[in-house]
């Protein structure tokens, strides 16, 4: 992964080693932790240069020769065991066990420095390492290769054969020609070729399921055939460009003869935990101490995203409907600028609408096989939100699509995620028919039947979605309820049911217009433990015409939630026209920005004049 990809594919760069440096002595002292059997850490390096700046180098993925050599020395000193892909493969089949403190060293892209700088270090320390090769680059794809590394800065087959014959270097596929972006929507976003249905502007449609699968399989087969022929090996692994992989592409790789799959992520991996393994991405020229700190994070923390704070805005994509892409882009730019200034970090986008006002959903904003597509808006909005302002995005669909209108929510979700693989998750809006789940402390037979229906629909949708979503993300599902009265005795039971399935519960109401609901909510929150609260999202529906005293009430209520340890809060009804009022009245409550020095008001100056 190179500088050229920083903007296009920033969404998949999930591990950034820019943590504060701590002393090696401290790290060693703190490293006495229990390591499960067959657990290994995988680290991903790219270019290695002698002149990498300590900070701010033009290539954020490069590491200095000095820092890499010192890290190798540290590995040897501290008893870590560099392992081979073959070790992982054998352990996965239960034919051997990995040694304790196992680390898999990987180098992507076939940069010349892998031969001139890394290989000599491997021989010096007798360490094995894996090199992931985009074979088309080696075979003459100079356009992409030169853009990534400059002219004549890749290894050749003779050099790789020498490395292979040493017994220290293993080689894996980095695809043949999937290390690029392809057209992903009518608005001309470029997204990872391995998991994107290519948009074909000449015929105004996306490639079919069969066309996509044939393209990916053909590429991976070509890559494997090249590696095997040139190096005399039987390559088994695909290291996905940009870490972009879905369960679907994982299966396609297996069909192409590459059953071992490596993504990018933020955790260590058990060899039998799944087909795709996570890798930590080395960035910003870290010192050995910094790399070690990240390794400890791998070993200490699973992907406990439920512990993370979230600040959420709910937005209806119907506001983005436009006569042409130019107007849509203007609206989208305005939305992203406002949200970026507010410094929230999560968006919930309503992806369907009742356009004719008859109480039934009749249009969608993404390609699908059940509803009329009003406009193809979701993909670009999700991608731009993630890459431009680092917001994670949920799509919202109402359960009534299935329970009242007879559509298959799981198939609709599959269509949504198939064309939006970087989506964070699905928000299922439950409507009033299932309020007994949060109102009743003990569910009677009728309520239990209703809630079981919800859980069954949700699980089917989740299963279909996870086939198409990017494995580098941690796809999540949330159930959304609009609270109608103060009866919340079932909150703990409903949370426990959701928590058992790893799902979030999203509750929304207006605390100023319905203070009795908020009072009942506070009472219930005091009875929840920390983990239950971590799976709870509380979002206010705010009256944009609130008086000055009412805005103060909203502010006080948000602060009350925080004092009660609710870590995920938001505004349920964000509108472009109300952005200035939200910015001026709720910035402190909603913003994740910890520094007042970086505050920016997007409504000052020209933009403010345009908004009037």
Chain segment 160-208, per-residue pLDDT in tens: 999 999 999 999 999 999 999 999 999 999 999 999 999 999 999 999 9
Instruction: State how far the Cα of 335 lies from the Cα of 343, in Å rounded to an integer.
Output: 12
The predicted pLDDT at position 611 comes to 41
End-to-end CA distance of the chain: 44
| Domain count within the chain | 2
Among 41, 44, 21, smallest CA distance to 33 is for 41
Q: What is the CATH number of the domain that holds 100?
A: 3.20.20.370
Decide if 264 is inside a domain: yes
Q: Which domain holds residue 386?
A: 309-593+601-611
Half-sphere exposure of 478 (CA within 13 A, CB side): 24
Residue at which a domain ends, from 262, 278, 300: 300
Query: Same domain, yes or no, for 443 and 342?
Result: yes
Tell me: the pLDDT tens digits for 289-303? 888 887 776 666 544
Query: Same domain, yes or no, for 514 and 413?
Result: yes
Low-confidence winner among 137-146, 355-364, 476-485 (lowest mean pLDDT)? 137-146
Decide if 125 is inside a domain: yes
Residue at which a domain ends, from 300, 325, 345: 300
The residue-averaged pLDDT of 208-216 equals 96
Among 524, 473, 598, 604, smallest CA distance to 13 is for 473
* Helix ranges restricted to H, 347-397: 378-389
Q: What is the CATH number of the domain that holds 429?
A: 3.20.20.80
Instruction: State how far the Cα of 538 lies from the Cα of 490, in Å rounded to an integer.
Output: 16
Q: Which residue has the tokens 């923390």?
A: 301
Query: Same domain, yes or no, for 238 and 338?
Result: no
The predicted pLDDT at position 229 comes to 98
Low-confidence winner among 68-72, 92-96, 408-412 (lowest mean pLDDT)? 92-96
φ/ψ bin of 232: left (φ > 0), alpha (ψ from -120 to 50), beta (otherwise): left
Instruction: State how far the Cα of 472 lies from the Cα of 469, in Å rounded to an integer.
Output: 9
Decide if 33 is inside a domain: no
The H or E element spanning position 249 is helix 247-255
The predicted pLDDT at position 188 comes to 92
- Token pair belonging to 530: 């920390």
Maximum Cα–Cα distance for the chain, whole Å? 76
Decide if 29 is inside a domain: no
Query: Same domain, yes or no, for 336 and 477?
Result: yes
Decide if 31 is inside a domain: no
Query: Same domain, yes or no, for 286 and 339?
Result: no
Decide if 531 is inside a domain: yes
Tell me: the pLDDT tens digits for 341-365? 999 999 999 999 999 999 999 999 9
Query: Same domain, yes or no, for 579 and 440?
Result: yes
The predicted pLDDT at position 14 comes to 31
Decide if 461 is inside a domain: yes
Tell me: the pLDDT tens digits for 245-280? 999 999 999 999 999 999 987 544 566 556 788 888
Tell me: the pLDDT tens digits for 32-76? 445 667 788 899 999 999 999 887 888 899 999 999 999 999 999
Query: What is the pLDDT of the chain when averaged over all its residues?
Result: 89
Q: Which residue has the tokens 């693989």?
A: 421
Query: Same domain, yes or no, for 255 and 352?
Result: no
Query: Same domain, yes or no, for 378 and 249?
Result: no
Determine contact, residues 571/586, Cβ cutoff 8 Å. yes
The predicted pLDDT at position 13 comes to 30
| 58: number of Cβ within 10 Å | 8
Query: Same domain, yes or no, for 467 and 530?
Result: yes
* Helix ranges restricted to H, 126-207: 135-138, 142-149, 157-165
Query: Same domain, yes or no, for 347 and 272?
Result: no
DSSP 239: E
* Helix ranges restricted to H, 31-156: 65-78, 85-92, 113, 119-125, 135-138, 142-149
Decide if 582 is inside a domain: yes
- pTM, rounded to two decimals: 0.86
Query: Same domain, yes or no, for 161 and 58?
Result: yes
The residue-averaged pLDDT of 491-519 equals 93
Tell me: the pLDDT tens digits for 562-584? 999 999 999 999 999 999 999 99
Determine contact, residues 536/504, Cβ cutoff 8 Å. yes
- State CA 175 to chain mean position distance: 21
Residues near 7 by beta carbon (within 8 Å), at least 6 away in sequence: 387
Residues near 411 by beta carbon (within 8 Å), at least 6 away in sequence: 369, 370, 464
Residue at which a domain ends, from 276, 300, 324: 300
Determine contact, residues 282/46, Cβ cutoff 8 Å. yes
Query: Same domain, yes or no, for 131 and 233?
Result: yes
């Amino acid at each position: 992964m190179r500088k050229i990809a920083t903007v296009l594919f920033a969404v998949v760069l999930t591990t950034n080693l820019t943590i504060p440096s701590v002393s090696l002595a401290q790290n060693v002292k703190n490293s006495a932790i229990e390591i499960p059997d067959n657990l290994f850490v995988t680290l991903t390096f790219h270019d290695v240069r002698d002149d990498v700046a300590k900070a701010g180098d033009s290539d954020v993925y490069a590491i200095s020769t000095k820092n890499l050599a010192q890290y190798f020395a540290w590995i040897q000193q501290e008893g870590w065991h560099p392992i081979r892909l073959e070790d992982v493969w054998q352990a996965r089949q239960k034919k051997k066990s990995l040694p304790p403190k196992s680390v898999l060293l990987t180098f992507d892209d076939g940069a010349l420095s892998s031969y001139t700088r890394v290989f000599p270090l491997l021989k010096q320390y007798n360490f094995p390492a894996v090199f992931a090769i985009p074979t088309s680059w080696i075979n003459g794809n100079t356009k992409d290769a030169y853009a990534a590394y400059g002219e004549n800065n890749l290894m050749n087959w003779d050099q790789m054969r020498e490395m292979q014959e040493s017994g220290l270097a293993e080689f894996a596929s980095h695809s043949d020609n999937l290390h690029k972006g392809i057209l992903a929507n009518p608005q001309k976003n470029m997204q990872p070729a391995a998991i994107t249905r290519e948009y074909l502007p000449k015929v105004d449609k996306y490639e079919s399921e069969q066309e996509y699968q044939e393209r990916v399989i053909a590429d991976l087969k070509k890559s494997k055939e090249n590696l095997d022929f040139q190096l005399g090996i039987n390559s088994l692994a695909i290291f996905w460009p940009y870490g972009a992989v879905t369960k679907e592409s994982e299966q396609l790789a297996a069909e192409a003869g590459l059953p071992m799959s490596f993504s990018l992520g933020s955790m260590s991996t058990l060899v039998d935990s799944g087909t795709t393994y996570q890798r930590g991405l080395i960035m910003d020229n870290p010192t050995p101490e910094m790399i070690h700190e990240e390794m400890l994070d791998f070993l200490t923390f699973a992907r406990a995203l439920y512990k993370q704070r979230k600040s959420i805005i709910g937005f209806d994509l119907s506001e983005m409907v436009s006569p042409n892409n130019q107007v849509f882009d203007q609206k989208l730019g305005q939305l992203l600028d406002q949200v970026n200034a507010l410094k929230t970090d999560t968006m919930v986008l309503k992806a369907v609408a009742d356009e004719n006002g008859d109480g039934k959903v009749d249009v969608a904003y993404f390609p699908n096989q059940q509803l009329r597509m009003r406009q193809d808006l979701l993909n670009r909005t999700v991608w731009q939100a993630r890459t431009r302002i680092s917001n994670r995005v949920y799509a919202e669909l109402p359960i009534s699509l299935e329970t009242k209108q007879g559509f298959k929510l799981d198939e609709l979700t599959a269509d949504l995620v198939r064309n939006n693989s970087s989506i964070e998750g699905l928000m299922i809006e439950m409507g009033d028919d299932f309020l007994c789940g949060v109102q009743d402390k003990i569910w009677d037979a009728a309520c239990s039947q209703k809630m079981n229906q919800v859980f069954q629909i949700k699980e089917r949708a989740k299963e279909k979605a996870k086939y198409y979503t990017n494995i580098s993300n941690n796809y999540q599902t949330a159930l959304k309820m609009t609270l109608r009265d103060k009866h919340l005795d079932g909150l703990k039971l409903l949370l426990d049911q959701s928590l058992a399935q790893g799902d979030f519960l999203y509750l929304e109401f207006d605390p100023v217009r319905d203070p009795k609901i908020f009072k009942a909510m506070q009472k219930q929150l005091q009875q929840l433990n920390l983990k239950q609260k971590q799976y709870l999202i509380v979002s206010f529906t705010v009256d944009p015409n609130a008086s000055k005293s009412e805005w103060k009430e909203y502010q006080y209520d948000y602060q009350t939630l925080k004092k009660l340890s609710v870590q995920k809060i938001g505004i349920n009804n964000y509108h472009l026209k109300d952005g200035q009022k939200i910015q001026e009245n709720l910035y402190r409550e909603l913003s994740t920005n910890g520094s007042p020095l970086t505050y920016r008001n997007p409504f000052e100056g020209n933009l403010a004049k345009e908004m009037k």
